[in-house]
Amino acid sequence: MKKYLIVLLLGGSLLSGCKKNFLDLTENPNYPSTATAVSLLAPAEVKTASIAVDPGLAIVNVWMGYWAFSPNYAVNQDSRDYRFTNTLGQSTFTNIYSNAYDYQKIIDFAVAQSDPALEGMGRTMKSFLMQWAVDIWNNVPYSQAFQGTVNKAPAYDDGRAVYEAIYDNLTVAINKLKTASSFPDASQDLIFGGNKTKWIKFANTVKLRILLRQSGRADRASYITSKLAADFPSSGGTISSYFLQAGEGAVVNPGYVNTDLKQNPYYANFGYNAAGTKTGNNDFYKASSYSVNFYFLQNDLRLFYVAKPVSTGGITFFGYHFLGNEMGSQGNGAVTYSDNLDNSPIGGPSGGIPYRSATDPQPVMGDFESLFLQAEAVQRGWFAGNAKTIFNQAQLQSFIFDFDRVDGAGSGAAYQAMLTATPDNNWDMATDKIKLIITQKWAALNTINFIEPWTEYRRTGYPPIPLSSSGSRGPRIPVRLKYPQTEYDLNGANVNSQGTIDQFTSKIWWMP
């Protein structure tokens, strides 16, 4: 009998004799399962910079007259004709929300760690991104978004309500930033290296962008007036103390190098891979004749920054040939087009010093962009100041950003001075100053930002970009993207409640 009991005990011991932590294996040995707010900041900022040139929005550059299709490819006629499916821009939607969630996570950790600096930065960046979301899709999930598994199908909020909410969130952010005493260092905060003043100015500049966006709507005048009075009283500072000034751009450079995945995001998507092979997009898109002519006729050297010369043909500019393709011409058989393969939207003189490289910094919001906003605000009478001075400074900073890095200090200023004055670039010659400001912003943002030029075009109608020459194109440049197919697949009830979306008539709320 004893013998059998031993056998039984043996079995029992196998059951219970194991070490207490024998089954404690839920901790992933391959990755950490927790983080601090500050450790999440740099990747989130790198991601925001990449969204500014998101390849999902590449087609917008064609609509905006920057680029045309290469004649060597029979492109998808739908997007050439301004007609497109719900998958266009889908990746951008995912990227914006994913990135905004990264900042939400920073906010959550910062609140738990009582870190007002990171909470303020998180709130600023989240608001910054959500403005883009509204600018592209109008009504979007906001109040129910970013809740992870708590709400898997967030409802859509009215675009105007989102605008007001992110404005208020920026107010909270600024208050947090003001109370903060400890900020991350330059290796942790790639945008401003933990500079408190610049972060507050940046949040204010986003506020200004939000207010200017609504400036075309008479019904928003009182809202704008009340916000300006409350947030930017003349007693509290000057325009230059409120907003980002020259040299204070929100620019990201984590140490981009010529290694795949570590390249400047624009260069990686529209230039060359680390081995030097052209990307598909580089082949696919070429400079447009509209943009080539725009820079050429004004003796604007930024043409070198936005297009690569061809070997022969086209216009001759400082000894280099540039040949733009006509938007919408592809596949018609009716127009002559360039068959040169080099006319890519990645700038640089052939055989000389390239103006674009894998190591370039990537602006989230360049200093020139902030200055153009300020010039417009002064021009609209919102602030005291000299609009012309600010405008010229904005234009100068664009040249400096494009050229000083490669051609040496002062070259940007020299190139600006070479401009042939026209109403499109010269304050005194321009009769419509707003048109001038927006047109120069368009000229400055070429290949730097895919969202803002389109947004400002939709707000103001500037510059007067010709429509695609395709005979079967839609009636106008699209005013928005359709909601992503993934939303119809995964959040169907909420997205369908937004009704039928037409890319030509379903306006963004702030559009006049």
Q: Helix or strand or coil: residue 492?
A: helix
Q: Among 9, 98, 389, 505, which residue interacts with another protein (rule: CB under 8 A)?
A: 98
Whichever of 384 and 493 has its CB closer to another protein, that residue is: 493
Dist CA 224 CA 405 (whole Å): 38
The residue among 73 and 318 lying less far from another protein, judged by its C-beta, is 73
Closest contact distance (angstroms) between CB of 183 and another protein is: 16
How far, in Å, CA of 173 to CA of 182, rounded?
A: 15
CA 96 to the chain's CA centroid: 10
Contacts of 454 (CB under 8 A, 6+ apart): 60, 63, 64
Q: How far is the CB of 434 from another protein (least distance, A)?
A: 34
Among 23, 218, 230, 417, binds another protein (CB under 8 A): 23
* Cα–Cα distance, 481 to 79 (Å, whole number): 11
Residue 428: CB minimum distance to another protein, A: 45
CA distance 405 to 355: 9
Which residues inside 454-473 make contact with another protein, applying CB under 8 A? 472
In the complex, least distance from residue 172 CB atom to another protein, rounded to whole angstroms:
20
Among residues 9, 112, 153, 297, which is the contact residue for another protein, using CB under 8 A?
Answer: 153
Please report whether residue 158 would count as binding another protein according to CB under 8 A.
no
Residue from the set 149, 222, 235, 312 that interacts with another protein by CB under 8 A: 149
Please state, in angstroms and rounded to a whole number, the distance separating the CA atoms of residues 96 and 110: 21
CB of 27 to another protein, least distance (A): 7
* Residue 152 touching another protein (CB under 8 A): yes
- Which of 60-68, 185-193, 368-376, 403-411 is the region at the interface with another protein (rule: CB under 8 A)? 185-193
DSSP state of 85: -
- The C-alpha atoms of residue 387 and residue 375 are separated, in whole angstroms, by 5
Residue 74 as a binder of another protein (CB under 8 A): the answer is: yes
CB 489, min distance to another protein, A: 5
Total number of residues that touch another protein (CB under 8 A): 106
Stretch binding another protein (CB under 8 A), from 61-69, 85-93, 381-389, 428-436: 85-93
Contact 274, 52 (CB under 8 A): no
- Contact track, another protein, 248-287, x by CB under 8 A: ------xxxx-xxxxx----------xx-xx-x-xx----
Asked if 429 and 415 count as a contact pair (C-beta separation under 8 A), the reply is no
Closer to another protein by Cβ: residue 422 or 494: 494
In angstroms, rounded to a whole number, what is the distance separating the alpha carbons of residues 84 and 481? 9
Q: Give the interface segment with another protein, choosing from 12-20, 405-413, 433-441, 451-459 (CB under 8 A).
A: 12-20
Site string for another protein, 223-252 (x = CB under 8 A): ------------------------------
What is the C-alpha to C-alpha distance for residues 124 and 209, in angstroms, rounded to an integer? 13
**Among 195, 240, 299, 332, contact with another protein (rule: CB under 8 A):** 332
User: Does 112 help bind another protein (rule: CB under 8 A)?
Assistant: no
73 makes contact with another protein (CB under 8 A)? yes
Tokens coding 397 = 């900073």
User: Residue 349 Cβ, how far from another protein at the closest point, in Å?
Assistant: 20
- As beta bridge partners, residue 159 has none
List the one residue from 9, 87, 316, 389 that touches another protein (CB under 8 A): 87
Task: Kindly state the helix (H) or strand (E) to which residue 320 belongs, with its residue range.
Answer: strand 320-322
Q: Which two three-digit tokens encode residue 488?
A: 């119809």
Q: Which of 66, 67, 93, 403 binds another protein (CB under 8 A)?
A: 93
31 CB-near residues (< 8 Å, 6+ apart): none
> Which residues, 482 to 501, sit near another protein by CB under 8 A?
482-492, 494, 496
Contact 324, 292 (CB under 8 A): yes
Under the binding rule (CB under 8 A), the answer on residue 11 touching another protein is yes
The residue within the footprint of another protein, chosen from 170, 190, 211, 292 (CB under 8 A), is 190
Q: Could you check whether the bond before residue 463 is cis, i.e. omega within 30 degrees of 0?
A: yes
Mark 109-145 as b/e (b = at least 16 C-beta within 10 Å). Answer: bbeeeebbbbbbbbbbbbbbbbbbbbbbbbbbbbeeb
In 177-303 the beta strands, taken as DSSP E runs, fall at 250-252, 285-287
State how far the Cα of 16 lies from the Cα of 39, in Å rounded to an integer. 41
331 contributes a contact to another protein by CB under 8 A: yes
Near another protein by CB under 8 A, which window of 25-33, 316-324, 376-384, 441-449? Answer: 25-33
For residue 341, state whether it binds another protein (rule: CB under 8 A).
yes
